[in-house]
Amino acid sequence: MPKIKLTKNELKLQRDAMKRYQRFLPTLQLKKQQLQMEVRQLREKMNSLTDEMAQYDASLASFLPLVSGSDNAGRDGLLSIREWKVERRNIAGVDVPVFVSLTFNEPAYDLFSTPTWFDDLVQFGQKRMELTLRHRLMEETYDLLSQELRVVTQRVNLFEKLKIPEAKENIRKINIYIGDQQTNSVGRSKIAKGKCAQRDAETVY
C-alpha cells in the first residue's frame, strides 16, 4: 500500500475515491451476473446443439452404405453455400455474432438417374452443415463473453477486496492522525493559557 499524506486534503481525496468505487461497484456486479447467466445459458445451448449434431451424424451414417455402392458422378458441390448471414448483437456490452440464415445453391443432379433417398441425403447434409456453422458462432460468442466475464470479475474483486478496503483504511488513519493533532493542539493551548495565567498572577503580586 503506497504511503499517504495525513492531511485534510488527502482525506477528501480518499473519501471521494471511496464514493466512486461504491458507486461503480453495483454496476459491475450487475454486469457480472448478466454475463454469468448468458455464459451458462449459452453453454446449455451448445451442449444441446452438440447432441443434435450427433443425431444427424447417426442419420447420415445410415446413408453411407448406399452412397458407397452408388454412382457419385455429377454430385460435386451438392452442399455449396450461396449466402450465410450473420448479424451482431450486444450482450452486456459485448458485440457478439448471431446466426441469421444460411442458403445453399440448388444442387444440380438428374432426378431420374439418382435414387429416391438421395434428396433426403442432401437435406440431411445441408442441415448438418448449418448446425456446424451455428455451433462455430456459439463458440466464438462463448469465448467473447467468457473473456469479458473474466475482466469484469477482476474489476469487481479489485473494488471489493482492494480499493474500497484500502480507501477505508486510509480514511481511518487520516482521521486518527487529525484527531490526535487536534487533541495535542487543545492540550498545548491549555498549557499555554495556564502559563499565561500564572505569569499574570505573578505580575500582580
* Residue 200 domain flag: no
The per-residue pLDDT for 194 is: 54
User: In the numeric block, which cell numbers belong to residue 150?
Assistant: 473474466
Residue 87 covered by a domain: yes
Report residues of the chain scoring pLDDT below 70.
1-2, 63-78, 109-113, 184-205
Predicted confidence at residue 73, as pLDDT, reads 41
Is the whole-model pTM more than 0.85? no
CATH number, domain containing residue 67: 1.10.287.3240
If one counts every other C-beta atom within 10 angstroms of the C-beta of residue 65, the result is 9
15 falls within a domain: yes
Work out whether strand 94-104 and strand 81-91 pair parallel, antiparallel, or are unpaired: antiparallel
Residue 187: the pLDDT is 55
Query: In the prediction, which pLDDT does 74 show?
Result: 43
**Any domain includes 56:** yes
Q: Count the domains in the chain.
A: 1
Within a domain: 202: no
Radius of gyration of the chain (CA): 36
Do 187 and 60 meet the contact criterion of CB atoms below 8 Å apart?
Answer: no
Is 194 domain-assigned?
no
Three-state DSSP string of the chain: CCCCCCCHHHHHHHHHHHHHHHHHHHHHHHHHHHHHHHHHHHHHHHHHHHHHHHHHHHHHHCCHHHHHCCCCCCCCCCCCEEEEEEEEEEECCEEEEEEEEEEECCCCCCCCCCCCCHHHHHHHHHHHHHHHHHHHHHHHHHHHHHHHHHHHHHHHHHHHHHHHHHHHHHHHHHHHHHHHHHHHHHHHHHHHHHHHHHHHHHHHC
User: Residue 203 falls within a domain, yes or no?
Assistant: no
Evaluate whether residue 45 is within a structural domain. yes
Cα separation, 155 vs 152, in Å, equals: 5
Residue 104 pairs with which residues in a beta bridge?
Answer: 81
Amino acid at 182: Q
Cα–Cα distances (Å) from 132 to 96, 101, 128, 129, 156, in that order, read: 17, 13, 6, 5, 36
The residue segments making up the domain with residue 21 are 9-185
Predicted confidence at residue 140, as pLDDT, reads 96
